[in-house]
Amino acid sequence: MSFSELGLSDKVLGAIDAAGYKNPTPIQAQAIPHVLARRDVLGIAQTGTGKTAAFVLPMITMLEKGRARARMPRTLILEPTRELAAQVAESFEKYGKNHKLNVALIIGGVSFGDQDAKLLRGVDVLIATPGRLLDHSERGRLLLSGCELLIIDEADRMLDMGFIPDIERIGKLVPFTRQTLFFTATMPPEIQRIADTFLHNPVRVEVSKPATAASTITQLQVAVGREDFEKRATLRHLIDSAENFKNAIIFCNRKREVAVLHKSLVKHGYSAVALHGDLDQTSRMAALDAFRKGDAKLLIASDVAARGLDIPAVSHVFNFDVPHHPDDYVHRIGRTGRAGLTGTAISLVAPFDTKAVATIEKLMGMTIPWMGEPVAAAEPGERPARHGERSGGRGGRNRSQRGSRSQESRPRESHPRREQPQPRADNPPPVRAREPQPYRDRPQRDHVEPDASHLPAFLLRPVNIKA
């Protein structure tokens, strides 16, 4: 099937041509004709399938007729995160290059004033995160009564982030007669309920969910200790020894861990950026931009912050934490091995992660090979150590640590070597140790680091001697 058979306008076809797309993806081929026929659509597809263009291309075609009125957007796209909203806005620049569309991005973290001025001029496409949209609406700066088309994107993520009540409120502000397109990667019962309330006689379009990862991805797991500093040391070793390394996304389960790991990697001389919910909008955009351009080789992110972001050609994914939900594992590793390129996904597995890994393996229908020795499963009732928590000893920190700097800030850790995965003769790992990569760009040190493993920390601090 070709794009010209889908009913898109000539100007849109011109932009598709300029984008270099040859054929529509399955979700585009299936959804676009129905969108143009003004049907409601329930699209079950995840990022990477071309779903953004599946709604943006027909939208632009439909918007060629009619014009915008002040404070009354003609169409509304709801996105769970600011980055996703910004990414969709960018796709309007790409696919709408032959049109003069007024596109407004209404997201948190940027000033109300500019957004308000844009709304006043009249917008064809309003792309928003739910909270900020309701803020504008409550201030009386925005009327949704002229909205002809509502798009709810990444609905299951909205559910995870607690946005469903907001979505339901917004649903009451748009006309009952509007057309609705509803996209979700998964269909839990709560999402089915929301879909039923929002959609009228929808066409269901489903593209196969990659329950198994692309065959181009090499998946591995490596045993780590239960302490965060041990995990960080192993991660650094894995990065340094990775073959065909270009760049990597490192996933953590909590935003706090993202910040701690980012700080640590930067301190160790890696070019790394972080993406988590506590950063302001400008920092998040700058981080993404640096990673996309290749200025930063490592992106440390939480699932929520990274979900749906279109970051092409990532060579490696590291799961610093094993995700709690197996679906998140599929999303995470799907960041590499895209478009036929090969990729490697390595999970750091601590003793208390074995159950989560078993659930992932069940979903994937495969056993993830170990690099080196498998981890010993935790005793029943053992729980993961939180950041800053030390195992062993009632007071958390043991005697040798008390009063000294943290393990992380010591000039050299003794653990990386101990924790390095030992290759098994019958299962040689595809990733081998080698010299540090050129991107490391470590700060130059003019002294030889001592073996710090048995020295008290105070002996290792630099001493300033006055002349």
Residues that bind ligand AMP (CB under 6 A): 21, 24-25, 28, 47-53, 310
Which residue bears the tokens 């990477």?
Answer: 48
Cβ 181 to ligand AMP shortest distance, Å: 13
Our CB check for ligand AMP shows the closer of 56 and 322 to be 56
In whole angstroms, give the CA distance from residue 105 to residue 111. Answer: 11
Our CB check for ligand AMP shows the closer of 47 and 247 to be 47
In whole angstroms, give the CA distance from residue 29 to residue 119. Answer: 33
Which one-letter DSSP state was computed for residue 461?
Answer: S
Cβ 95 to ligand AMP shortest distance, Å: 9
* 205 φ, ψ (degrees, to nearest 5): -125, 120
Report the candidate in 276, 344, 337, 283 with the shortest Cα–Cα distance to residue 307. Answer: 276
Our CB check for ligand AMP shows the closer of 51 and 178 to be 51
Cβ 194 to ligand AMP shortest distance, Å: 21
Cβ 340 to ligand AMP shortest distance, Å: 12
Q: Where are the beta strands (DSSP E) in 95-196?
A: 103-106, 125-128, 149-152, 179-184
Which one-letter DSSP state was computed for residue 187?
Answer: -
In whole angstroms, give the CA distance from residue 208 to residue 32. Answer: 17
Our CB check for ligand AMP shows the closer of 50 and 73 to be 50
Our CB check for ligand AMP shows the closer of 46 and 241 to be 46
Our CB check for ligand AMP shows the closer of 90 and 240 to be 90
Query: CB 330: neighbour CB atoms within 10 A?
Result: 20
Q: Are 8 and 95 in contact (CB under 8 A)?
A: no
Our CB check for ligand AMP shows the closer of 16 and 119 to be 16
Cβ 100 to ligand AMP shortest distance, Å: 22
Cβ 372 to ligand AMP shortest distance, Å: 35
Residue type, 230: E
Our CB check for ligand AMP shows the closer of 92 and 370 to be 92
The β-bridge partners of 128 are 78, 106
Q: Which helix (H) or strand (E) holds 93?
A: helix 82-95
What is the per-residue DSSP string for 195-233? HHHH-SSPEEEE----SS--TTEEEEEEE--SSHHHHHH
Cβ 238 to ligand AMP shortest distance, Å: 28
Report the candidate in 4, 121, 118, 101 with the shortest Cα–Cα distance to residue 59. Answer: 101
Cβ 112 to ligand AMP shortest distance, Å: 29
Which residue bears the tokens 């890994």?
Answer: 357
Our CB check for ligand AMP shows the closer of 135 and 310 to be 310
In whole angstroms, give the CA distance from residue 238 to residue 12. Answer: 45
Cβ 77 to ligand AMP shortest distance, Å: 12
Our CB check for ligand AMP shows the closer of 31 and 195 to be 31
Token readout for 353 is 């992660």
Helix boundaries (H) for 246-297: 255-267, 281-293
Cβ 310 to ligand AMP shortest distance, Å: 4
Q: Which residues contact 98 (CB under 8 A, 6 or more apart)?
A: 11, 12, 14, 15
In whole angstroms, give the CA distance from residue 27 to residue 202. Answer: 15
In whole angstroms, give the CA distance from residue 459 to residue 437. Answer: 31
Cβ 285 to ligand AMP shortest distance, Å: 17
Our CB check for ligand AMP shows the closer of 77 and 220 to be 77
